[in-house]
Amino acid sequence: MEYRLHTQDLRSHIPALKAGDRVILSGTIYTARDAAHKRFFELLDRGEELPFPLRDAVIYYAGPTPGQQGMAVGACGPTTASRMDAFAPRLLDLGLGAMIGKGERSQEVVDAIVRNGACYFAAVGGAGALIARCIKAAEVIAFDELGCESVKKMTVEDFPLTVAIDSTGGNLFRSGRAEYAAK
């Protein structure tokens, strides 16, 4: 199935999403990669607030390059999500709604997705320049000194995604391999 969703309404639609569904997402998302996630944990461990409200937020594992020729960002392809697997369960337990990246996730992350009724979206790797066209605005909101890995608040419009792991644990990576092996 294909869904056109806004990030404000995403949480209410997550239970209906199944691995393999296409989602055209619009709204607010936040970029964060390894270095930013380490900083998030430092803040949390000190009892401080994160630079954005985590409840129902969408984190895109990306480090966009600076925009040119009127674009909000340059290339903005997904980072390998497993690099954030050590961080994801805690953030999901604190209310994170969804993650966007590329590649498989650990069983601990899958368990946390199911436990929290969240989901993991896959974006097309190698298509950073094309994805940038969906980004209408981007502003650094934390850790500016990290450059491309700073945390950015981005407004996206019609961002094409695939549900890779749904809220029931349906996993496109596993089912896709099984389907291929059966052929």
Catalytically active residues, by annotation: 37
Residues 6+ apart with CB under 8 A from 98: 10, 14, 58, 59, 118, 119, 120, 121
Query: Residue 153 and residue 7: Cα distance in Å, rounded?
Result: 13
The secondary structure of residue 102, as a DSSP letter, is B
d(CA 93, CA 55): 10
Pair 65, 75: CB distance under 8 Å = yes
Q: Give the C-alpha separation, 111 to 114, whole Å.
A: 5
Nearest to 79 by CA among 94, 91, 90, 63: 63
Q: What is the rounded CA–CA span in Å between residue 60 and residue 89?
A: 15
CB 171 within 8 A of CB 164: yes
